[in-house]
Structure formats: structure tokens, C-alpha cells
């Protein structure tokens, strides 16, 4: 909480793949993924009980998807939390 973390690496290094794994849009062949205190993937299986709820917690802007030009960057990021989960703007940001 309160930290900003950057993932830096060469093109093709796996940054986007990592983000897709955190949302379970991509499922790894092995390893464990933990988000906060919840293990969402382990032993080759999805361990997350509520996929929709997980995705409401993890805002993601896709690399090759257009942002909404009428919204600020932060508003694009919190769009899913505000509209899908009904979380207020202040809490979502
Ligand atoms: N499901 C998959 N199985 C095998 N390889 C994959 C899979 N998904 C992605 N890759 C490969 O993993 C590599 C990492 O790609 P990725 O797009 O995550 O890199 P990136 O760090 O985001 O690169 P860029 O800086 O260009 O955006 C690429 O070679 C990609 O083709
Ligand atoms: Mg990428």
C-alpha cells in the first residue's frame, strides 16, 4: 500500500505476460501466483475462488488497446473498479 513499483525489462522479456498472469488472463505451466494474501494459482490449477472479484482488484490498461481520450490516465485505470464493482472514485484511485 502506498508504493509504486515499476517492472522494467527488454522487449519480449515477459512484462505483459506477467500482468496477464496476475489477472489470470494467462495461465502459467507451473509456479504459484499470490495476490495480496490470496494464492490465485498453484500446482497448475486456478486456485482463485472468485475470478470476477480478483479482476475488480487489479486494474489493467492493455498495451495495444486504446485509452478513452476523454478520461485522464488514472480514470482509465480505475474504470473497471468504479463501473463493474461500484467502488467510489476516491477509493478506486
Ligand atoms: N502463452 C504463452 N506461451 C508461450 N510464450 C508466450 C505466451 N505468451 C507470451 N509468450 C511469449 O513471451 C514473450 C514475452 O512477451 P511479452 O509480451 O510478455 O513481453 P513484454 O516484456 O511485455 O515486451 P514489450 O516490452 O515488447 O511489451 C514473447 O516472446 C511472447 O511471444
Ligand atoms: Mg508488453
The predicted structure's pLDDT at residue 13: 96
Any domain includes 54: no
Say how many Å lie between the CA of residue 25 and the centre of ligand 1: 13
> In terms of DSSP H, where are the helices of the chain?
15-22, 51-57, 73-84, 89-92
The predicted structure's pLDDT at residue 40: 94
Is 42:27 a contact under the CB 8 Å cutoff? no
The predicted structure's pLDDT at residue 12: 95
User: What is the total count of domains within the chain?
Assistant: 2
Indicate which atom in ligand 1 lies nearest the CA of residue 9. 21
The predicted structure's pLDDT at residue 67: 84
The predicted structure's pLDDT at residue 57: 80
Structure confidence by residue, pLDDT tens digits, 9-60: 999 999 999 999 999 999 999 999 999 889 999 999 999 988 888 888 887 8
Residues 72 and 91 reside in one and the same domain: yes
Residues 43 and 65 reside in one and the same domain: no
Q: List ligand 1's pocket residues with C-beta within 6 A.
A: 9, 11-17, 26, 63
Residue from 15, 17, 22, 60 whose mutation best tests the ligand 1 pocket (most atoms within 8 A of CB):
17
Q: What is the dihedral of CA 16, 19, 24, 30, to 10 degrees?
A: 80
Amino acid at each position: 500500500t502506498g508504493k509504486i513499483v515499476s517492472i522494467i525489462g527488454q522487449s519480449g522479456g515477459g512484462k505483459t505476460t506477467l500482468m496477464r498472469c496476475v489477472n489470470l488472463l494467462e495461465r502459467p505451466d507451473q509456479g504459484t501466483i499470490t495476490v495480496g494474501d490470496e494464492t490465485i494459482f498453484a500446482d497448475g490449477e486456478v486456485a482463485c475462488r472468485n475470478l470476477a472479484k480478483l479482476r475488480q482488484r487489479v486494474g489493467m490498461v492493455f498495451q495495444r488497446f486504446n485509452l478513452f481520450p476523454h478520461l485522464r490516465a488514472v480514470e482509465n485505470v480505475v474504470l473497471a473498479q468504479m463501473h463493474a464493482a461500484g467502488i467510489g472514485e476516491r477509493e478506486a484511485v
